[in-house]
Amino acid sequence: MLIAMEEKAKQEELDEVMRRIRSLNYECHVISEQKRWLIGVTGNGKGKRRIQVLECLPGVERVIPISSPYKLASLEIKKEKSFLKINDIVIGNGKLVVMAGPCSVENEEQLMETARAVKEAGATILRGGAYKPRTSPYAFQGLGEEGLKLLAKARSHFELAVVTEVINPQDVELVASYADILQVGARNAQNFSLLREVGRARKPVLLKRGMMTSIEEYLMSAEYILSEGNGDVILCERGIRTFETATRNTLDLSAIPVLKEKTHLPIIVDPSHAAGNWKYVPSLSLAAVAAGADGLIIEVHPWPEKALSDGPQSLKPDQFHTLMEDIRQMAKLVGREL
């Protein structure tokens, strides 16, 4: 349900409506609109009809049923597109944002060299994994907190925001103390304990789509984060698993306009994990911009042939610099800017 307050509604009237909602064992989420308050009602309380009766309370304009199973993520509950700010970086307001960096933080030299290169090329957010979920238990699993410290050092030196993955619910507090954006990877897209924990962390969350997750299932995963009170969610299309083997995954570009139609949340695209091959990353990046993505997250490594993970899909700094110039030109063609 969505409760729309009148434009002239008073704070005490809003408070009373929220008190009545909670008395029915529902949760309420206040959504700020330019002219009035909106209240999202979620949970399994004492009956929708009793919520409908709240339309009689002072200050309430109307009670609106929400048909989507994902209530807080739906455009039905929030018509205006959401955006979030990290320092002076805005994600989801029409400008393109590029996140770039290595798959894994390997050592200080590798990270600092990459951070310098992506900063010079125009990226504003540094990506890099300190904790890595790997298919093989024998593969490089990341440096852990030492990797987080290196990311923090690079952020300070190059004035970049940092996005890094968190894998375990018990690590959320630690990772949040270093990162500007918490990434939930494809393998954890339906790890509901982790989703709830990052929702409580009050840090922006980059939620990647699972390899075999439908759009509805994906938005329900976002709903777990939103329902904990964290509205700063960024969706990330990174390719889905199909019968095709020419690429690592199949980039679902159609997900961009579909999600734009269904949710107010910003969406970025990860062409690196979709392609699995650096040669295809530029084309997929430009296609994502043309399709309306709010940003990109691209893997860059100064020495991909020596990378401990995902070297084949990583761009070298000079290749990334060329791609950024092409992205600027594509953005202009579709009336946007980087």
Beta-strand pair 161-165/181-184: parallel
Which whole-number Å values give the CA distances from 202 to 16, 24, 181, 197, 249, in the listed order? 26, 26, 10, 10, 31
Q: What is the pTM of this model?
A: 0.88
For the cut 70, the answer to whether the pLDDT of residue 33 exceeds it is no
What pLDDT does 7 receive? 86
Tokens of 210: 């699972």
- C-alpha 264/C-alpha 79 separation (Å) is 7
Q: Does the domain made of 2-64 have the CATH classification 3.40.309.10?
A: no
Over residues 135-188, the pLDDT tens digits come to 777 777 889 999 999 999 999 999 999 999 999 999 999 999 999 999 999 999
Over residues 214-231, the pLDDT tens digits come to 999 999 999 999 999 899
Question: For residue 328, which phi and psi values (nearest 5 degrees)?
Answer: -60, -45
Q: Which helix (H) or strand (E) holds 56?
A: none
Every domain range in the chain assigned CATH 3.20.20.70: 84-333
Tokens of 260: 């734009």
Q: Which fold has domain 84-333?
A: TIM Barrel (3.20.20)
Every domain range in the chain assigned CATH 3.30.70.1140: 2-64
Most confident of 28-32, 138-142, 194-198: 194-198
Over residues 66-76, the pLDDT tens digits come to 778 888 999 88
For the cut 70, the answer to whether the pLDDT of residue 277 exceeds it is yes
In 3-state terms the chain splits into helix, strand, coil percentages (rounded to 5) of 40, 20, 40
Q: Is 66 buried (19+), middle (13-18) or exposed (0-12) by CB count in 10 A?
A: middle
Over residues 245-269, the pLDDT tens digits come to 999 999 999 999 999 999 999 999 9
State the DSSP code for 51.
H
> What are the residues whose beta carbons fall under 8 Å from the beta carbon of 245, sequence distance 6 or more?
none
Q: 65 vs 291, which has greater pLDDT? A: 291
